[in-house]
Amino acid sequence: MAQPTPSATLDPIDLDAARRRLATPDRLSEFFRPRSIALVGASDSSGWARFVVDSLRTAGFTGALRPVHPKRPTAFDLPTVPSLRALDEPVDLAYVFAPTHAVEGVLDDAAAAGVRNAVVLASGYGDGGGEEGRALERRLVEQAVARDITLLGPNCLGFVNAAGSVAPFGLGIVPPLRRGPVGIVLQSGALTSNVLAFARAHQVGISLLTSMGNEAVITTADVVEHLIADDDCEVIGLFLESVRDAPRFTALAAAALAAGKPIVALKVGRTEAGQRTALAHTGAVAGDDAVVDAAFRQYGVIRVGSLEELLVTAGLMGSGQAPRGRRMGVVTASGGACDIIADRSTDEGVEIVEFAPGTTDALRAVLPPFAAAQNPLDVTGVILADRGSAQAGLGDVALNAVVDDPGVDFVFHMLALPAAEPPDPSVIEQRVTAVAATSARSRIPVVNFTATCTDLSPYAQSLLDRHGLHALGGIEFGLTAIGHALRWHETRQHPPAVGEGRQQSHLHVPTRPGAGFADARATDGPWSEARGRELLAAAGVPLVPAELVTDADAAVAAAQRFGCPVALKVCSADIAHKSDIGGVALGASGADEVRAAFGRVLAAGRAATSAIDGVLVSPMRPPATELFVGVTVDPSFGPVLAVGLGGVFIEVLHDVALRLLPVDAGQVRRMLGELRGAAVLAGARGTRPADLDRVAEVVAQVAAAAAGLGPALQTLEINPLRVDGGDVEALDVLVVTGGM
Amino acid sequence: MAQPTPSATLDPIDLDAARRRLATPDRLSEFFRPRSIALVGASDSSGWARFVVDSLRTAGFTGALRPVHPKRPTAFDLPTVPSLRALDEPVDLAYVFAPTHAVEGVLDDAAAAGVRNAVVLASGYGDGGGEEGRALERRLVEQAVARDITLLGPNCLGFVNAAGSVAPFGLGIVPPLRRGPVGIVLQSGALTSNVLAFARAHQVGISLLTSMGNEAVITTADVVEHLIADDDCEVIGLFLESVRDAPRFTALAAAALAAGKPIVALKVGRTEAGQRTALAHTGAVAGDDAVVDAAFRQYGVIRVGSLEELLVTAGLMGSGQAPRGRRMGVVTASGGACDIIADRSTDEGVEIVEFAPGTTDALRAVLPPFAAAQNPLDVTGVILADRGSAQAGLGDVALNAVVDDPGVDFVFHMLALPAAEPPDPSVIEQRVTAVAATSARSRIPVVNFTATCTDLSPYAQSLLDRHGLHALGGIEFGLTAIGHALRWHETRQHPPAVGEGRQQSHLHVPTRPGAGFADARATDGPWSEARGRELLAAAGVPLVPAELVTDADAAVAAAQRFGCPVALKVCSADIAHKSDIGGVALGASGADEVRAAFGRVLAAGRAATSAIDGVLVSPMRPPATELFVGVTVDPSFGPVLAVGLGGVFIEVLHDVALRLLPVDAGQVRRMLGELRGAAVLAGARGTRPADLDRVAEVVAQVAAAAAGLGPALQTLEINPLRVDGGDVEALDVLVVTGGM
């Protein structure tokens, strides 16, 4: 058994930092390109070892393979050594098949033999869910740190480096393994064969694919960081069961966006909106998955719903033909396909624009008389039936005409590709050559696609490859991918501010309490409304005027100053939801009513608590549009801003837009546009159209005030924020801090 | 050229009836099974003819093929005859390649030769959009009727009868042509090769596929009627650009539902909600596509969004394993797949139930220690790595255990199928044999699926076929198909009433005017509210009390009888939207206010029209939940009921549920459950929970009152219908008739 490791006394933060040093991009560049591999515990009868040997062969691995087995003299027709210590020179990577209890010993051997990298297949660590397994995994990390061993797993299958022709991977890989621009990180290794099968069938090439296992040392974020730096990778595909270090993930997402490497992620585990905090609304509407969704959108991570969508989208993004504008020209030989495309384009916000007159003229000159020279274009089945005749060039002429249309941002071009090499391949060769020539000279992307998501035959793939073309798998996934590409490009135009990824972590936000609120951390629980109002006022947020009074005469005097009718609210840090206990009186007019209302709300407050600050008196406002603005703290992603319309929109429909903090006014403007009830702000219900710039400015101030509370922030909520044209005013404020 | 046909004087209705007699199920059974086919105008140089000859060969056609060409002595190595008249005996079908101008002559020849069936490829008829083409098409129909020729097309490619081994079809069919239970009707022939390619790749067998062209004689509805009667067909798949005869379509849909033959339809041409009638709300919310959607849902037509979804769904429905209950057991060898399945199940309303203790025990006995015996079940990669060992049977034991779980309605079972026959096929053969045995003995459906939508290899298909198994193409389309299957089964439990399909047509509804409203047809335009109230009262609809008064004193007296406050509304058939012109006064209290309000609304009315019936006085009701209930007339589908919540739900979110008339209270209950704001009726906003049975009863009465107006109905709208617990009352009524 292994000896106690010297790092056993590291505290968790130091251990994590030490772990990180094993998984830097530099270390991972070395890790993923071994020229010699030891198979520790491999025997001919082990299915896993057989898979690894087969996968290495499929990947074209030409380095040294050294089986290690304590008892058997050979494995896979190679002589074994009994232990890593018996190797004449260290290998670059040890693939450890040893059972759980033997892994520590193998790693000691590895360290002694100068091996710096290991894949650990064994399970029964943190994956088992038990305390014992977790302790075992911590020991494994400590050992790796102490021995300077970069480790993938445990409970993982290894990796497939197609770009580097090395695939120490414990499941079968059906050849051919296609190299290409897509780096893939899977938090479920069992999906690997499915991912590779679909990628192979759809001309999607892989640079690196990793099965992450328990992520004891190398984490998903480490591999993403490596892929951002790795020139072989142009697109990053993720299968995520969880986002472990959310601030690091968003920082990496921002870096990938800045580097122009799209991240496409299938994040599973969508759950019901959690009731995180019963004190405020915001927690209820900002459920775990909704926050993930918002964070991904904000940081340009393309979220997909299926493996097919993941790979077709990654294929488009890696093809060099991803569109950057929404105006689409469509060229097909099928009216039915045009119909389907038109419907799906509407879903994706893609515009099928009218062709320019020049385009229409050029098309009319070549189309058969019964075909319409319009977008989407159906050149008709004539090009199929009359192959080889004068009509054969019709598709090419049409594609060239549409590519030159000045009002089109990209062309969606349907290709019919053969299932096998035809007896006379010259027709299809000629066609594909012409498409490639048009594509090469085009100033706009030409996105080729097949009608449905059937496999591209090996012949079709070789044909496309020879001409540098890519074809998306079907109209359905193809247009979904195009929608993703367009949104990704738009996010690049409005990237999150540099450093947001770190700043948003409530662990890292510097504490910037508002003036006079240095005691925010000391407060544990809800604030009185009067104190909350002071915080917001200091941040520049416009508030309905209010006076805190402690007797009925002062209430009447305040009402006279404001003009009746007025609202009266009992003010106490102990009463977060005043109206629930009868602590609010609305529309009081005249001295008698104000006096009575004062007595009523105070009595209601006193029935609930002895710590009453007084009663807030405010002028009543006429009905107008009401917004809900709240900031809550997500346990993973930190402070989250939620903006929605009041009433049924928030209560029944949970119609909110979310963003991680910090946000600027520009981001808030886009949030407002995402609301299902956005038309209300435009005046749909007969109210004055909202001044959206002013609303965005105020909401950004609210968000800044919340961020200023630093780690003490729990909730900051304005409900409602009254909006009447350009008049924007907070009518009610709730602040909760503490509990960190 | 053809001579004038004797039926040239038939009126459109007679012509349509005569056309229908050519396209009965009996005639179509004959049409789609020819044992001899003439290829009229075929030459070796024609691409279309070559395709037809190839397609017939691919389908295994063994009947007689008779090329007809006026000039060439042979075609496709067969001797030609110069005209159909020169045939020694009539063929069963003539496939007409002749150009448009020659078609009439060919049909005359056909009739003279005793040929009863023809496919017409030529275009330039109604498809061109011009008046000349339409006239030509009408002549073609008249000629077909006069000559008793059943005709597919023009502008069509023909058909593929896989069940009957005959495919006179003008595009290439890549072999093999797979026979099976799915009958397919395409309003776009160019999609045929795409449909067949995906079907071939996913083990979806075809009985009959037709390219409809212009539907001059044989229509889509005719073929659907034939398929309902055809024993070779178990599922009907449609690609629809339009629903031409909506009442007939819904009647056929009801018949298919009753017969247990699912219809799966990709209906394209989704458009913006049309502003059909500016007078009423209902038209604006019941847009063309929303009505199609509602009609499909009501009549059990499964609507899909892509060709892949069409075929995977049809494949499931034809597999004999379509689930009938929502409780799913999942068996996979991939935790990642389980995660994806869990998310997608939530989307589809499929429940992943907890396994019964007996199931869990049985699983624990065989699973490796690190695997969780839970639903969804991941038996882990052990079954892959340890093929041939004791673990090989793990998948079978697990599947058997889950199949026997008493709380599970069906099993979703992931199959990994090889891309080609493996060197040792015994492992996979054994596995598939075991799955087939379990499936055969199971009391519940076992739905097999592959992880992603890659093609099933020919080897995998032959393996599945030999064992009578079907595998759905991927988790994404597979779970979508399961959701469709479940909703279809539920619609079968609540089928539309017999005869609805016909009755709903406003052309066929017998006129059943309400008592005292026999003059409804005579009225052209909006009714006065007082008259509308009488109609609804006669139908049993509860209304807020109202008195029609013509002077201020009477208004005051009415207000005293009702108790103040009251509402006053000017009453005139000329004023559909009273509040827009200031014709409504709300909350008038006391004689002075009532008197002033009377004067105000009357003056407003008089400014708009001289035809004032008086002023309606009603008691004000306290705020409560408000519904919108409207019936409008869709130009295709006839009367449509729309039900929604008032306020932002209808105005901003257009949140309405739609049904074709007639509906019963049970249907209305389901409509209420479909609303996004359904929680409001349950009391989400602090109101009394609505008595949904009472609401449904009243709405059904409103619908019946609308239906009673017969063809005169344009709009009947109650806005709002006030709902306060079990108190349901119409507060405002608008009826518009005429214009038919």
**How does pLDDT run across B21-48, given as a tens digit for each residue?**
999 999 999 999 999 999 999 899 888 8
Encoded tokens for A680: 């209300």
Do the domain assignments include residue B611?
A: yes
B142 with B20, same domain: the answer is: yes
**How does pLDDT run across A191-244, given as a tens digit for each residue?**
998 999 999 999 999 999 999 999 999 999 999 999 999 999 999 999 999 888
Of the candidates B198, B385, B652, the beta carbon closest to that of A51 is on B385
**Contact of A736 with A525, CB cutoff 8 Å:** yes
d(CA A557, nearest CA chain B) in Å:
32
**How does pLDDT run across A620-630, given as a tens digit for each residue?**
999 999 999 99
Chain B positions touching A380 (Cβ under 8 A) are 190
Interface contact A653-B269, CB threshold 8 A: no
Chain A positions touching B198 (Cβ under 8 A) are 452-454
Do the domain assignments include residue A386?
A: yes
d(CA A287, nearest CA chain B) in Å:
15
d(CA B219, nearest CA chain A) in Å:
17
B333 with B447, same domain: the answer is: yes
| Sheet architecture: strand order including B566-571 | B547-549, B614-619, B566-571, B584-588
Q: Is the pLDDT of residue A389 over 80?
A: no
Of the candidates A270, A335, A685, the beta carbon closest to that of B346 is on A270
* Domain stops at, among A469, A490, A510: A469
Do the domain assignments include residue A463?
A: yes
Chain A positions touching B51 (Cβ under 8 A) are 385
Do the domain assignments include residue A148?
A: yes
Chain B positions touching A194 (Cβ under 8 A) are 334, 337, 451-452
Helix B100-112 × helix B131-147 angle, to 10°: 10
**Contact of A711 with B687, CB cutoff 8 Å:** no
B329 contact partners, CB below 8 Å, separation of at least 6: B352, B353, B355, B375, B377, B402, B403, B405, B408, B410, B411, B412
* Domain stops at, among B139, B174, B209: B174
Residue of A nearest to B336 (CA): A188
CATH number of the domain residue A458 falls in: 3.40.50.261
pLDDT tier, A369 (very low <50, low <70, confident <90, very high otherwise): confident
CATH number of the domain residue B579 falls in: 3.30.1490.20
d(CA B567, nearest CA chain A) in Å:
22
Do the domain assignments include residue B103?
A: yes
Write b or e for each residue in B487-516: b if 16 or more Cβ atoms lie within 10 A of its Cβ, otherwise e. ebbebeeeebeeebbebbbbeebeeebbee
Residue of A nearest to B457 (CA): A455
Interface contact A170-B378, CB threshold 8 A: no
Residue of B nearest to A385 (CA): B47
A602 with A461, same domain: the answer is: no
Residue of A nearest to B266 (CA): A340
Greater confidence (A525 vs B112) lies with B112
User: What number of other Cβ atoms are within 10 A of residue A739's Cβ?
Assistant: 10
d(CA B321, nearest CA chain A) in Å:
24
pLDDT of residue B497: 62
Chain A positions touching B339 (Cβ under 8 A) are 188, 241, 268-269
Interface contact B453-A198, CB threshold 8 A: yes
Interface contact B385-A307, CB threshold 8 A: no
Q: Is the pLDDT of residue A348 over 60?
A: yes
Of the candidates B123, B337, B652, the beta carbon closest to that of A684 is on B652
Interface contact B201-A652, CB threshold 8 A: no
Interface contact A174-B384, CB threshold 8 A: no
d(CA A281, nearest CA chain B) in Å:
15
d(CA A550, nearest CA chain B) in Å:
32
Interface contact A453-B336, CB threshold 8 A: no
Encoded tokens for A425: 């391949």
Q: What is the distance between the alpha carbons of residues A134 and A326, in angstroms, rounded to a whole number?
A: 50
d(CA A385, nearest CA chain B) in Å:
4
Residue of B nearest to A242 (CA): B339
Q: What is the distance between the alpha carbons of residues A422 and B421, in angstroms, rounded to a whole number?
A: 24
Alpha carbon separation from A353 to A56, A330, B133 (Å, rounded)? 50, 10, 28
Q: Which residues does residue A639 pair with via DSSP β-bridges, in sequence order?
A: A633
* Domain stops at, among A619, A637, A660: A619
Alpha carbon separation from A419 to A332, A587, B130, B310, B459 (Å, rounded)? 19, 76, 39, 22, 16
Of the candidates B241, B453, B652, the beta carbon closest to that of A453 is on B453
Geometric angle at alpha carbon A334, from A331 and A340, rounded to 5°: 85
Chain B positions touching A346 (Cβ under 8 A) are 270
Interface contact B268-A378, CB threshold 8 A: no
Return the sign of the alpha-carbon dihedral for residues A699, A700, A704, A707.
Answer: positive
Of the candidates A128, A386, A452, the beta carbon closest to that of B370 is on A128
CATH number of the domain residue B636 falls in: 3.30.470.20
Cβ-Cβ pairs closer than 8 A, A with B, add up to 217
**How does pLDDT run across A52-88, given as a tens digit for each residue?**
999 999 999 999 999 999 999 999 999 999 999 999 9
Interface test with B, best of A44, A289, A308 (most B CBs within 10 A): A308
A573 with A719, same domain: the answer is: no
Chain B positions touching A130 (Cβ under 8 A) are none
B611 with B629, same domain: the answer is: no
pLDDT of residue B286: 57
B456 with B565, same domain: the answer is: no
B18 with B139, same domain: the answer is: yes
Chain B positions touching A198 (Cβ under 8 A) are 452-454
Interface contact B306-A652, CB threshold 8 A: no
Interface contact A476-B648, CB threshold 8 A: no
pLDDT of residue B272: 46
Tell which phi-psi region holds residue A371, choosing left (phi > 0), alpha (psi between -120 and 50) or beta: beta
Return the sign of the alpha-carbon dihedral for residues B548, B551, B552, B557.
Answer: negative
Of the candidates A308, A416, A652, the beta carbon closest to that of B476 is on A308
**Contact of B202 with B473, CB cutoff 8 Å:** yes
The structural domain count of chain A equals: 4
Interface contact B336-A378, CB threshold 8 A: no
B154 with B23, same domain: the answer is: yes
pLDDT of residue B199: 97
A611 with A631, same domain: the answer is: no
Domain membership of residue A426 as a residue range: 322-469
B82 with B113, same domain: the answer is: yes
d(CA B15, nearest CA chain A) in Å:
27
Do the domain assignments include residue B495?
A: no
Q: Is the ipTM of this complex over 0.90?
A: yes
Interface contact A189-B381, CB threshold 8 A: yes
Chain A positions touching B123 (Cβ under 8 A) are 370
| Ranges of chain B with pLDDT below 50 | 1-7, 272-282, 388-390, 499-521, 740
Interface contact A190-B651, CB threshold 8 A: no
Do the domain assignments include residue B607?
A: yes
Chain B positions touching A51 (Cβ under 8 A) are 385
Residue of A nearest to B480 (CA): A306
CATH number of the domain residue A27 falls in: 3.40.50.720
A568 with A632, same domain: the answer is: no
Interface test with B, best of A51, A184, A194 (most B CBs within 10 A): A194
Alpha carbon separation from A559 to A546, A563, A579, A582, B721 (Å, rounded)? 10, 6, 20, 20, 40
Write b or e for each residue in A285-310: b if 16 or more Cβ atoms lie within 10 A of its Cβ, otherwise e. bbbbbbbbbbbbbbbbbbbbbbbbbb
Chain B positions touching A128 (Cβ under 8 A) are 370
Interface contact A306-B474, CB threshold 8 A: yes
Do the domain assignments include residue B193?
A: no
Length of chain B: 740
Interface contact A476-B306, CB threshold 8 A: yes
B46 with B86, same domain: the answer is: yes
